[in-house]
Structure 1
Amino acid sequence: MTAFMTVLGIVVFAFGLLFSIAWHEFGHLSTAKMFGIRVPQYMVGFGPTMWSRKKGETEYGIKWIPLGGYIRMIGMFPPGEDGRVQRRSTSPFRGMIEDARQAAYEELQPGDEKRLFYTRAPWKRVIVMFAGPFMNLVLAVVVFVGVMMTFGIATQTTTVGSVSDCVIKAEAVAENPDRKCRDSDPAAPAKAAGLERGDRIVGFNGRPIDDWETLQTSIRDTIGPATVTVERDGKRVDLHPTLTENTVTKSDGDGGYVDGEYVKAGFLGFTPASGIVKQDFGQSVDRMGDMVVNGVDALIALPSKIPDLWNAAFQGEERQEDSPVGVVGAARVGGEVLNLDIPPEQRVASMLLLVAGFNLSLFLFNMLPLLPLDGGHIAGALWESVRRAFARVFRRPDPGPFDVAKLMPVAYVVAGVFICFTLLVLVADVVNPVQLTG
């Protein structure tokens, strides 16, 4: 049964991946057709064609390697300086440019002169190239918010999970996780006041409490006598602890903690229990915003993860929890998700969140202003707008379309770096994968 669920999880994630790619390319396709650009091909995947069918002027198909997709638009790059589509050169860099230009025109047909991508206004080209990543962002937001509002997510609650016996500084616990209470350690205020595991805190100093973030802030802002109202066995009970000042782990402002950073604050002395809590629309949007910020931070930190990836792949060192994962690693995580000992609806929610996270990563990655990514074409169109605006202001001749093909040598370098990084992640995912469980 375990093997079956693992395979099922991988298959489910694979279908989610294929849909995400198809959804991305549909964004490019629909906007390109909207602006009258001819699109000969819409393909999901790379390599040999598994299935295809031509409808109208576009061939729709699926290829065997589900690691991406593309649409082929006519005239992605303008002609060369001599007005010709092809011109050969002995320069390898010039050859790259000319190969890219030739590929952009290889299916040119009579009447396509007015249907070329590069002839469209820069703002239209920006829309066409942005539409793909934007579709991934839309899918990520819809799934994230839908899961949070429908299924809920694991979060810390105001229910007491455990009560501390004594007051110990956070640094001491970090240095020695097995640190026990000593006779010299004062009793924890929660213990002294009679707080018990399973109590649900519903009020603090007369203020209603319904979420962990508010409770955490209230506790940390209080030193001295306080009134804590709890629900116990269906009844409300007021407890009167005297909160003490202690060195605690710094809060991230959302109920979580910042590892390795400490502050002095009010201390009650209990650990909140975690539970699946449905979020309202506002809370879901806030959490989605946090995920976007975390995604950007992770993208910026990507180069710093390479040494750890290398050591995990080839030196046998432990794979870090925040290590980047590729398609293979994500599929493997999908298999683990369906084997988790959690309710079936939470397995479904976890799979949906995995696919949503993949779509958010696709959006952020594709928005990098580098060729051959969509962001590189967007940057080229925006630069063309700036050049033309500058020429109009200073009454200079129109410089014409910006030739993105001239950046193809850089694009090949960038693509080479991406391929090497992808292979490194693949090896790490195979020999030393990130695991949800020990």
Structure 2
Amino acid sequence: MTAIAFLVGIVLMIVGLAVSIALHELGHLLPAKRFGVRVGQYMIGFGPTLFSRRRGETEYGFKAIPLGGYISMAGMYPPSRAEGRAGGGLFATMVQDARVANDETLAGEDDDRVFYKLPVHQRVIIMLGGPVMNLLLAIVLFSILLSGIGVQTATTTVAALSECVPATGATSCTSDDPAAPSVEAGLQPGDEIVSIDGTPVSTFAEASAIIQASPGEPITLVIERDGAQQTLTATPAPIVGAAPDGEADPAEIGFLGIQPTAEFVPQPLWAGPQMAFENVVAVGGVIWQLPVKVWQTGVDLVTGQERDPNGPLSVVGAGVLAGEVAAADAPVLNRVAGIIGLLGSLNIALFVFNMVPLLPLDGGHIVVALWDGIKRAWAKLFRRPPPKPVDATKLVPVTLVVVIALMAMGAVLIIADIFNPVSLF
């Protein structure tokens, strides 16, 4: 049964990834069609086509490898016919090949339904559409997680009682250990603590703070049991706790011996968006240091050291974590919440990663469009003729280097996720 649950978790992650990619490409497709650009293909995945159907001028389909997707827009770059062939050399040949491939998407010189002829703001909107779709999906998922399901919080309802006051460092009770104050006071599982020493408490943290601040001092507990309130008196046992901040010696705190009930507490509606943007900042810090992080992951793989749990993961690693969550010995709602959280984090990663200002990523296309806009604004300011559109095919060699680097880092992460995986448990 655990193996089946593990596989279900992996399948859910694959389906979630496919949906995230589909929405990402839809974020490009809708504004492209709205602005009149001819879109030849809308594909989920890479490699051989598994299924496709043409509707109008666009072919929609799925490919064999669900690790990405794309839409094929006419005229991503300006035509190169007037510039002639490039000179010799590998990079020059690559540039020329890219120009030829781009020219094939152009219906003719008089065709205005091409990407490069759009106003700058429309090109930026099209390229932003994909990443923004992932960000919006992450906000929805985190809102469902935090406001729909809630955050698991320790409440003032007693789940269980400790049998004794264990000796320092002990994990179990002996016959010599005194009974826990909660047992002596007559507390029972299911009791809800309403107030302590006249102070109302609504969370276990509030109750715990008062108990810990009263070692050896009698306190009055108002509890609710079977719909009726009762008053009990307990004396927290003094035990050695953690040292306060800035102090070397441990502090003496009160111990009552109660274990709280954990419940899902819905959070305000703004908690989901807040969590999403906090994750954007956190993932941005990882992406910024991605080469260093991947190198360290490779070193940990070779040396057998434990990986940084906050480091980068491949799709394989995300699938393994989803499998672990699905197979965990926990209530179904907890596992559902875990899967939703992973999918939300995945979409944040897709958003941040695609905003990196390097071709062939969306952020690179946005930079090209903005540079074109700056050149045009500069020419207009000084009353010069409009400049030629920016020819991004000249950046193909740099793009190739980026692609090779991404493939290499992806391979390292996949191998590490197989042989030295990050585990939640």
TM-score > 0.5, shorter chain as reference: yes
Specify the structure having the higher radius of gyration (Cα).
2
CA distance in 2, matches of 1:124, 1:226: 70
Residue ranges of structure 1 left out of the alignment (5+ in a row) = 169-177, 181-189, 251-259
Query: Which residue of 1 is the match for residue 394 of structure 2?
Result: 406
Provide the residue aligned with 1:369 in structure 2.
357
Q: Which residue does 1:432 correspond to in 2?
A: 420
- Determine if the alignment matches structure 1 residue 34 to structure 2 residue 22: no
2:247 and 2:360 map into 1 onto residues whose CA distance is 40
Structure 2 distance, partners of 1:413, 1:426, is 20
Superposed, 1:24-423 pairs within 5 Å as 24-80=24-80, 83-84=82-83, 87-110=85-108, 113-155=111-153, 209-210=201-202, 231=223, 233=225, 235=229, 275-423=263-411
- Deviations 1:319-352 (Å, cap 9, x if unpaired)? 3322321111111222222211122233223222
Partners in 1 of 2:274 and 2:340 — Cα distance? 19
Residue in 2 that maps onto 1:171 = none
The 3-state SS of whatever aligns with 1:281 is: coil
SS of aligned partner of 1:323: coil
1:312 is displaced (CA, Å) by 3.3
Q: 2:176 — aligned with what?
A: none
Q: Structure 1 residues 226, 313: closer, same or farther in 2, change over 3 A?
A: same
Which has the higher mean CA deviation after the structures are superposed, 38-47 or 403-412? Answer: 403-412
SS at match of 1:70: strand
Distance 2:197 2:372 in 1: 61
Distance 1:267 1:282, change over 3 A: farther
Alignment partners' CA distance in 2, 1:335 and 1:137: 24
Report the equivalent of 2:177.
none
Contact 1:223–1:266 under 8 Å retained in 2: no
Report if the CA contact (8 A) 1:45-1:68 is conserved: yes
Q: Match for 1:100: what amino acid?
A: A
Q: Which moved more, 1:402-411 or 1:224-233?
A: 224-233
Following superposition, the deviation at residue 15 of structure 1 comes to: 1.3
What is the CA deviation profile of residues 289-320 of structure 1, one whole-angstrom value per residue up to 9, with x for unaligned ones?
Answer: 33333222332343342243113322222233
Distance 1:107 1:389, change over 3 A: closer
Gaps of 5+ in 2: 172-180
Structure 1 residues 354 and 24, CA gap change in structure 2 (3 angstroms): same
Moved more, 299-308 or 2-11: 299-308
Give the corresponding residue for 1:172.
none
- Report deviation, 1:354: 1.8
1:64 Cα deviation after fit: 0.4
What percentage of aligned pairs have identical amino acids? 40
CA shift in 2, pair 1:233/1:72, >3 Å: same
Quick one: which amino acid aligns to residue 135 of structure 2? L
**Cross-structure match for 1:23:** 23
Contact 2:145 2:272 in 1 (8 A): no
- Judge conservation of contact 2:192–2:225 (CA < 8 Å) in 1: no
Q: What TM-score comes out, normalization by structure 2 length?
A: 0.79
In 2, the alpha carbon distance for the partners of 1:28 and 1:212 equals 48
Q: Give the distance between the partners of 1:349 and 1:423, measured in 2 at CA.
A: 29
Instruction: Tell me if the contact between 1:151 and 1:346 (Cα under 8 Å) persists in the aligned partners.
Output: no
